[in-house]
Amino acid sequence: MKYVYYFLMLMFLCFAAVQFNDPDPLLWIPTYLFPIYLLFQRSKGNLSGSTLLLVGIPYLFWAINQFPPEWEGVMLNTMGMKTINIELGRESLGLGFTALVLFLVSFLKK
Neighbours of 107 (CB within 10 A): 9
Cα-to-chain-centroid distance, residue 7 = 14
Q: Assess contact for 41 and 102: CB atoms under 8 A.
A: no
- Pure H helices in 18-83: 25-43, 49-66
pTM, full prediction: 0.90
Say if residue 80's pLDDT is above 70: no
Query: Would the CA dihedral through 41, 93, 61, 66 be positive or negative?
Result: positive
Q: Report how far residue 56's alpha carbon sits from residue 69's, in angstroms, rounded to the nearest whole number.
A: 23
Higher pLDDT, 79 or 100: 100
pLDDT of 103: 97
Q: Where do the domains of the chain lie?
A: 2-105
